[in-house]
Amino acid sequence: MPTLLTLMQYVKIPQERVSVLIGEDGEAKKKIERLTKTKILVEDTSVTVEGESLSEWLARDIVKAVGRGFSPDKALSILSEDHMLLVIDLTDLVGSSEKTLSRYKGRIIGRDGKTRKIIEEMTGCYLSVYGKTVSLIGSY
């Protein structure tokens, strides 16, 4: 019987998102490991994911999603067969000027998060604006 290839996936996440990934008493990390059948090692801001090929890729994207501002529960929706993570670097689209980035992020979020909520409701996606990125979790 053929065995699946085991590699390791590496992800860097912001320091302030490490505690969210781990969760209270390590529960979020344990849940991700259990549901993806992987082993996740967190060292400072570097995260290593080890397991079977597809599981590693899914767990890596879940870790990346948490690092981009999603809650672990929303990030776990990537496990749904038709869901994926898309990370858009705003500097690729509007340049790196802080003023311009702030204006575009504000437009995406809207007053009190109203525009973001409308986008999520209309598309069935989760949306996160974090740092210089806009990330989406949803169906293909």
Q: pLDDT-based confidence at 4, cuts 50/70/90?
A: low
Name the residue with tokens 């599981």: 55
Residue 10 belongs to some domain of the structure: yes
Domain boundary among 49, 70, 91: 70
Total of domains in the chain = 2
Residue 75 belongs to some domain of the structure: no
Residue 47 pLDDT greater than 50, yes or no:
yes
φ, ψ of residue 119 in degrees (nearest 5): -60, -45
CA distance 101 to 113: 17
Q: What is the pTM of this model?
A: 0.92
Domain of residue 20 covers 1-70
